[in-house]
Structure 1
C-alpha cells in the first residue's frame, strides 16, 4: 500500500526536470546496490529509489543509521561495511552505491580505509564533498542538544571538516548536483548556484569520473525519476546520459 502511495510522489519529479530514461537492460543486472540516505533521514526516504532500482533489475540493500549522533568514521565502518556484507551474503560480487548527501561522505571515509571492489560504481546525489556552508553554520548552535554538532563540524568547511580532508577519490564516481537554488535569503544557506542546501561547487571532488547538474532541490532529488534514471545510467556505463527522450541534459563546470 505504501509503495503505491509513494511511487506517484516520485513520478511527480519528472514534471519538474523533464523525463530522462535509463538505458534499457536486456537482462537482470548481476549487481547489488547499497542505498545510503542523508543527514536526519532514514531508509524510508530512499524507498522510491530502492523500488526504481529493483524494477531496473538490481538487488538492493537500503541502510538506515543514526546520522546525527555518531561520528562519520564509526558510521562508515558500520553502515558501508554492513551493506557490502549483506550484498556478498546474497551471492553478489558486484556491489554499487547510490548515496544522498552525507551518505556519500560515508562511502569516501570507508574507501579511505578499505579498498572497494574493483568494479564498484558510486553515484552521489548532492554530496558535500568540499564541506557544506550550511553544516558549518549550524554546527555553531546547540539547539537544546537536538543536533550533534560534532557530525555537523565534520560535514562543514572549517578545520574539523572530514569532507575536505579525505582527498581525491580512487573509485568510479559520478556526482549529480542540484542547481534549482532557493532559500538563499535564510541565514547560513548558499548564496551561489545550489540545490538549496549544498552548493554546486561543494559537490565536486578530484578523481570523479562524471559530473552532472540537474534542476532539482536537495531534499527532493532522491524522489526525482530523472535523477533515478541518471543514477542507473552511471551504474551501467560509468557515465551519465547527455541526451534522452526529453532532449539534451545540461552539463556545466562546477560553480559556473
Structure 2
C-alpha cells in the first residue's frame, strides 16, 4: 500500500466525483471495476480476504473482551522497548492521552486488535475500545452512546480531552458527536478510517434506517454539511482508492470549510484492512504523539507549554 497526502480542495456537501469526474452509482462501479486491473489493488484484495477470515474468527473475542482500563502510573522505563520509551520521554502527556476506538457497521471492537496492539507498543498507555449495537441504532443515538463512553474514559483517566479513532460508520458517529453534539470540547483529535463522510452508494444495498442515513444526500449528510464554526477538534481522514464499501471512494475524504482536516489517500487497501495496515498505525501514532503546536494540553490541571517558564 502507498500513503499520500490527498490534494483534494475544501468543499461542502454533495457527492464527490471519481477520477474521471463522473458521478453516480454506475460511475462509481465502473471506477471500482477498472481498479481491479491494478496489481496493488489485487494484492490488497487478497489481504482483505485474509483479514475478513481473521476478523470472523476473532468476532466472539470482541464481544466479551474488556473495553480497556486506565493504565497505572509507572515511572520506570528500563523494561520498555525503545520506541515506547522514546514517546514517554519526549512527551509524557501525549503518551498518556486516552484513545477511544469506535468500530463500524456489523462489527465490534475485535476489528481493532492489531491497531490497539500497535498503539500500545508505540507508547500509548490508555487505549480503549467500545461496542455498540449497529443493527438496532442510528447515527444520532449511537453518537449519544459515544458521548457517554467519552465521559467515562475522561473520568477514569483524569484527562479533559481524548482522541477518538473511528472505522467506517464509527468515524461518522464520532464526527456527528464532535460537530453536532458539542463533542469537540472532549475530543482533541478524531481519526477516521474509510468513513463515508459524503455517503456511499453501497448503502442502497439494504433498506434499514442506518443504511438510509449513509446514502449520498440523505438528511444526515445534509446535517453534517452544515456550518460548524469554532470546532476545536482536529481531523485526520484515511481513505483508499480500492475501498469497495465506499462508493465513490473519495467520499471517504473529509471536506468541510469549518473543519481542519488532513486527508491521507491509500492505494490498493481494502475497507476492512484499514485498521491493521502498518502505515496507518504509524501515521496515527505520529499524529497523536504531537499535541497542538501552540502547546495546548489535554489533561486537567496541566499548564500549557506556551505559558511555562
TM-score, length-scaled by structure 1 = 0.69
Show the 5 A alignment for 1:102-251. 102-111=169-178, 112-117=180-185, 120-135=188-203, 137-140=204-207, 149-160=208-219, 162-167=220-225, 170=231, 171-179=233-241, 181=242, 195-198=243-246, 199-203=248-252, 204-206=254-256, 207-215=259-267, 216-237=269-290
Are the aligned partners of 2:236 and 2:261 in contact in 1 as well (CA < 8 Å)?
A: yes
Change (3 A) 1:94 1:231: same
Instruction: Tell me: CA distance 1:236–1:54, structure 2 relative to 1, closer, same or farther (3 Å).
Output: same
CA RMSD of the aligned region, Å?
A: 2.6
Distance 1:103 1:77 in 2: 13
The one of the two structures with greater contact order (alpha-carbon pairs below 8 A, sep at least 6) is: 2
List runs of 5+ in structure 2 lacking aligned partners.
1-50, 56-82, 293-309
Pair member with larger Rg: 2
Q: Cα deviation per residue 1:114-146 (whole Å; 9 max; x = unaligned)?
A: 2423770111111100011111x2134xxxxxx
8 A Cα contact 2:164 2:187, kept in partner: no
- C-alpha distance in structure 1 between counterparts of 2:165 and 2:150, whole Å: 11
Contact 1:30–1:94 (CA<8 Å) still a contact in 2? no
Q: Which of the pair is proportionally richer in helix?
A: 2
Q: Is the 8 A contact 2:198 2:251 kept in 1?
A: yes
- Give the secondary structure class of the aligned counterpart of 2:288: helix
- Aligned partners of 1:46, 1:80: CA distance in 2, in Å? 20
Q: Which runs of 4+ in 1 moved over 6 A?
A: none
Q: Distance in 2 between matches of 1:99 and 1:119?
A: 12
Unaligned regions of 5+ residues in structure 1, if any?
Answer: 1-5, 11-20, 141-148, 182-194, 240-256
Asked if 2 retains the 8 angstrom alpha-carbon contact of 1:123 and 1:234, the reply is no
How many residues matched? 197
Question: Counterpart of 1:254?
Answer: none
Alpha-carbon contact 1:31-1:93 (below 8 Å) kept: no
